[in-house]
Amino acid sequence: MTNDAYSLAGTAAAALKAATGLDSFDVALVMGSGWVPAADALGATVAEIPFTDLPGFAAPAVAGHGGKIRVVRTEAGRSALVFLGRSHLYEGRGAESVVHGVRTAAAAGVGTVVLTNAAGGLRPETQNVGDPVLISDHINMTGANPITGTTFLDLTEVYSRRLRALVREVDPEIAEGVYVAFRGPTYETPAEIRMLRTLGADLIGMSTVLEAIAAREAGLDVLGISLVTNPGAGLASEPLNHEEVLEVGRATAARMGVLLAKIVDRL
């Protein structure tokens, strides 16, 4: 992380606190494609700030990403920063833009971040469309890293075992899997899916991994949850499309929102 990136995140955090009138936040959640409707179940909205009102943020370029930061007061009285959307590497603004939200949350004092996404399922024999899956580990195939220079970061446990155990207390049936991130915006090919299955991957997407790395660099505890929105390329007869992703999100919004609400109040 460059000094400029640190400074920009700190400036954005200060502007966020000024805009909301709050000095601290307990947890941050990044809502991926199709997850935005689930945010309504998290609690009472205290404030909403457009991304573009804060330094360093750009409006999301992808359908299904809301483009605002919502401050929510949960039923247990926790203060949550909810990012209704995110930037992606394929938008062309670089890795620092992708992780700016997570770094701003860290600068604002958050200690835990929940990263959600829509993912293709690589194990249709055990995964159903509409199922949430805990991310246990990841494979970074984006060709990018938000950390530059001689900062060496241990990634033995990117996604907190403690937080995953907590989620299993809420939903004992929830599965775990390894998430692979590609740069996008093209969907993967059937040959790539066969390769990833051989490597031991369970989920495929275009986000989350760079944010998780930046969060660990900042000392945050990370929880990752994928929503399986489609089988990977070549594992079903239908071609892949983004509208399918959003439709699954809409269909499962209530269920995912309840799950997240229960999790947040236990963090």
Tens of pLDDT, residue by residue over 190-238, are 999 999 999 999 999 999 999 999 999 999 999 999 999 888 877 876 7
Along the 267 residues of the chain, how does pLDDT read in single tens digits? Answer: 456 877 999 999 999 999 999 999 999 999 987 788 888 889 999 999 999 999 999 877 665 556 899 999 998 899 999 999 899 999 999 999 999 999 999 999 999 999 999 899 999 888 888 899 999 999 999 999 999 988 899 999 999 999 999 999 999 999 999 999 999 999 999 999 999 999 999 999 999 999 999 999 999 999 999 999 888 877 876 776 767 666 776 777 778 888 999 999 888
Cα dihedral: 230, 173, 30, 148 (round 10): -90
Helix (H, G, I), strand (E, B) or coil at 70: strand
Helix (H, G, I), strand (E, B) or coil at 89: helix
Q: Which amino acid is at 202?
A: D
Give the residues across from 48 on adjacent strands. 70
Q: Which of 75, 96, 188, 247 is catalytic?
A: 188
Helix (H, G, I), strand (E, B) or coil at 44: strand
Tens of pLDDT, residue by residue over 156-168, are 999 999 999 999 9
Q: Which residue has the tokens 């992703």?
A: 245
Sign, CA torsion 47/53/57/61: positive
Closest CA to 148 of 107, 96, 113: 96
CA atoms of 196 and 198, how far apart (whole Å): 5
pLDDT of 132 reads 93
Is 91 catalytic? The answer is no
216 sits in which H/E element: helix 209-217
53-70 b/e (C-beta count within 10 Å ≥ 16 → b): ebbbbeebebebbbbbbb
Contact 201, 176 (CB under 8 A): no
Please state at what angle helix 161-170 crosses helix 242-264, rounded to 10 degrees: 90
